[in-house]
Structure 1
Amino acid sequence: MFRSLLAALVGLLMTAAPAAADDFAAFDAFLAQFRKEKRIPAMTAVIVKDGRIAWQAAYGTSDDEGEIATTMDTVFWIASVSKPISAAAVLAEVDAGRLSIDTPMTADPRWHAQCEWMRGTDIPFGGGDKDAGGEIPPVNCERKWTLRDLLSMRVNGDGSRFVYNPIAYARLSRIVTGSGGRELRDIVRDNILKPAGIDHTALGWQDEKGGLALARMAPPFKMTDDGPRKTVFPDDDFRGAAGVYTSAANLAKFDIALDAGKLLSPARTAQLLGRTPQRDGYDWGWFRQDWQGQRLVWHSGWEPDAYSAMYLKVPDKRLTLIVLANTEGLWWGNSLVRAEIENSLVAKRFLESFAR
């Protein structure tokens, strides 16, 4: 009986492994074609499964002369994918008793001025507008918002539903230091980078401890009718909403450490990645939604005419996809008031291949 069970198990593994390999090969071919069609010079991708890297690939070259091959250590500006990292670092600081989640946004002495300016512009998430997802209420400068509201993108309208507001989120560093807390760069380095074993990552272009991050950068390109054309580097410093320069390999380290409970307590990790009692749409630095019965937790990154990024988790399956590019080719124009990552061709292909 033992030999029969062993033979059956070996047979099962032998039939399952080629199918998984075929899935990865098909996804690899899809991404290679996607990059070609979008004319992205450099792109990297990682799939994490059950706490380890199950598949990874680097495509193209990271310079305008086509001489530097892209590798998994190639560094990209990850734009708004910085937000989940910042949020996790701040929550770790809260749990350590060094910061209050109820810190008012007015701890930033310039919040009211920034808010009034935003409300008076034609920025969709500032003065009120609409997109394909529906009405966008204007930012509310009279309400007493807190750090809790900011991390869940609820500073517009009455706060009952999220409005993706990256300008408000960019006040994160000023709110933390304005309340007497440490510099956000130090908080992220101590609470995230060090325990996750992440190196060669710059938290803003002024980060003196950024290691080889800037030396390994894939420069940004703008898409034109004649093909990619090199453009200028983003020069915003690290404020929490964006500013991280890192590689897909390092983001995979963050993902693995987060799932393993090395960055936050089990309760806090469950709060970030669990299904309940969290609100759909956006919470604690992540977009949140369901797709065909699967909970999805994700973030996109978009720097116009420069970079784009995707970080997609399927927590119940312990499955993650990370993709970085040095053009805006990964961007799909997602709504400011709805979480709908399946509208991305890359996300849809990944979900249909691995998460059904």
Structure 2
Amino acid sequence: MAFVTLFSLLAAFGQAQNKPATTTFAQLDRAVKQLMDSARVPGLSLVWIQKGQVSYRKAYGFTKADSTQQVDSNTVFEAASLTKPLFAYAVLQLVDEGRLDLDKPLFEYLPYPDVADDERYTKITARLVLSHRTGFPNWRKNRRSSELTLLRSPGERFGYSGEGFVYLQKVVEKITGEPIQAFMENRVLKPLGMTHSSFIWQPAFTANYAQPHNESGEVGQKYQPAQANMAYSLHTTAPDYARFFLAIFNATGLKPATVDQMLSPQSQLPTRFSGSDTLAAGSYWGLGIGLEQTPGETYFWHWGDNGAFKCFIMANRTRKDAVVYFANGSNGLDFADEIVRLTVGGQHPAFPFLGINWRAQAGKSAKK
């Protein structure tokens, strides 16, 4: 019955491509609660930006399914791969300063013994890392192994890779002489006022953090990183992460031309994340961020998936509209398309790419 009500509600909010949503805050609030309930997501935190200003922020549910501690705006979630855009932003600051060349082979800054047996790796640049064209797998088969294998020649095509970000992280540490946590604090977290964020676990998080939940809503073990990893270790809040959107919208911390380059197509995306060689029209990867280009408008987006934590961001650069949300359940990405439809608006190739289609799922459930 819940699916029938939810599906009827969402159908009323359908939006055509490129048109902003007309959802009221009350409608959004009601829809989010129903989405969470249907997907068995215990807690969620969301921020909606309109015309370059935070217009709405709301926390829902509980930090842990069997607890009474409610999620609030300061509840810390795992950001998973939403770590990557922040790292790209910091890397581009080094580019602005002339300390890093996007197109200089990374081995000239720091050789990488993990893949040194394959000379093709000497073609890898920061640009190829940030646009996911290194040729590396997402992760090596044995995460404890010191051996990394190239799947294809660098620059050949898009292939999402956390390994590339790890290599670039090592290069940045070599260039700056700083541990990556300190570098990111000084370049991103402190300047942007992200006071509830860190790439390693902080004792201050203990009082208010979200717990992970599997597909059945059962609580899992919480990951508390002791070492920063620029592919996935960020812990943050939705209001903190919204500050990153505002920095991009206003070219804060980067030259306007560098922001333009960050949000310009570097590689075209396939129609699906895996299993497809067909390219998607208007769908690209920029420097550290996904892109969609339509006549007169640019969207940028990314998702995060650490298993039992899911998150998503979507922004319209032209209108300066954006949404970010964090969820503490394995099903938390299932309704990303509906959250975007109700806020930023439009229909987006990002969701077929990720295999997300809540309307189809809700429709099938409503017929049972």
TM range (shorter): 0.7 to 0.9
On the 8 A contact 2:322/2:343 being kept in 1, the answer is no
Letter in 2 for 1:182: E
Alpha-carbon deviation of 1:183?
A: 2.7
Counterpart of 1:190 in structure 2 is 186
List gaps (5 residues or longer) in structure 2. 1-19, 136-151, 269-283, 349-368
Tell me the matched-pair count.
296
Counterpart of 1:248 in structure 2 is 238
Aligned partner of residue 309 in structure 1, secondary structure: strand
Cα 1:75/1:292, change in 2 over 3 Å: farther
Q: Return the alpha-carbon distance in structure 2 between the equivalents of residues 246 and 240 of structure 1.
A: 14
1:82 aligns with 2:83: yes
Letter in 2 for 1:92: Q
Q: Return the alpha-carbon distance in structure 2 between the equivalents of residues 32 and 161 of structure 1.
A: 40
1:150 aligns with 2:129: yes
1:288 aligned residue (281, 288, 291): 291
Cα 1:287/1:20, change in 2 over 3 Å: closer
Counterpart of 1:215 in structure 2 is 207
Q: Return the alpha-carbon distance in structure 1 between the equivalents of residues 249 and 301 of structure 2.
A: 14
Q: Deviations over 1:20-53 (max 9, x none)?
A: 8853322222211111111111101111122211
Q: Return the alpha-carbon distance in structure 2 between the equivalents of residues 102 and 179 of structure 1.
A: 15
Counterpart of 1:299 in structure 2 is 302
Cα 1:180/1:351, change in 2 over 3 Å: closer
> What's the TM-score, normalizing by structure 2?
0.71
Q: Deviations over 1:290-343 (max 9, x none)?
A: 368742211100011x211101111011101101011222335xxxxxxxxx98
Aligned partner of residue 155 in structure 1, secondary structure: coil
Cα 1:155/1:93, change in 2 over 3 Å: same
List gaps (5 residues or longer) in structure 1. 1-18, 120-139, 333-341
Aligned partner of residue 60 in structure 2, secondary structure: strand
On the 8 A contact 1:82/1:240 being kept in 2, the answer is yes
Matches within 5 A, 1:18-33: 22-33=23-34
Counterpart of 1:312 in structure 2 is 314
Q: Return the alpha-carbon distance in structure 2 between the equivalents of residues 234 and 60 of structure 1.
A: 22
Q: Return the alpha-carbon distance in structure 2 between the equivalents of residues 51 and 354 of structure 1.
A: 21
Q: Return the alpha-carbon distance in structure 2 between the equivalents of residues 194 and 354 of structure 1.
A: 35
More strand by share: 1
Counterpart of 2:332 in structure 1 is 330
Matches within 5 A, 1:1-356: 22-106=23-107, 107-109=109-111, 111-114=112-115, 141-142=120-121, 144-156=123-135, 157-158=152-153, 159-179=155-175, 181-205=177-201, 210=202, 212-224=204-216, 227-233=217-223, 235=225, 237-273=227-263, 276=264, 279-280=267-268, 281-290=284-293, 294-304=297-307, 306-332=308-334, 344-352=337-345
Alpha-carbon deviation of 1:347?
A: 3.0
On the 8 A contact 2:301/2:314 being kept in 1, the answer is yes
Q: Return the alpha-carbon distance in structure 2 between the equivalents of residues 295 and 21 of structure 1.
A: 20
On the 8 A contact 2:78/2:236 being kept in 1, the answer is yes
Cα 1:348/1:22, change in 2 over 3 Å: closer
Q: Return the alpha-carbon distance in structure 2 between the equivalents of residues 55 and 221 of structure 1.
A: 26
Counterpart of 2:272 in structure 1 is none
Q: Return the alpha-carbon distance in structure 2 between the equivalents of residues 112 and 249 of structure 1.
A: 39
Q: Return the alpha-carbon distance in structure 1 between the equivalents of residues 126 and 177 of structure 2.
A: 13
RMSD: 3.0
Q: Deviations over 1:87-136 (max 9, x none)?
A: 00111122123333345333454x352587xx9xxxxxxxxxxxxxxxxx
Alpha-carbon deviation of 1:228?
A: 2.7
Aligned partner of residue 245 in structure 2, secondary structure: helix
Cα 1:186/1:330, change in 2 over 3 Å: same
Aligned partner of residue 178 in structure 2, secondary structure: coil
Name whichever of 70-79 and 157-166 sits farther off: 157-166
> What's the TM-score, normalizing by structure 1?
0.74
Alpha-carbon deviation of 1:345?
A: 3.8
Q: Return the alpha-carbon distance in structure 1 between the equivalents of residues 77 and 129 of structure 2.
A: 26
Q: Which has the higher contact order (CA 8 A, sep 6+)?
A: 2
Q: Return the alpha-carbon distance in structure 1 between the equivalents of residues 28 and 116 of structure 2.
A: 43
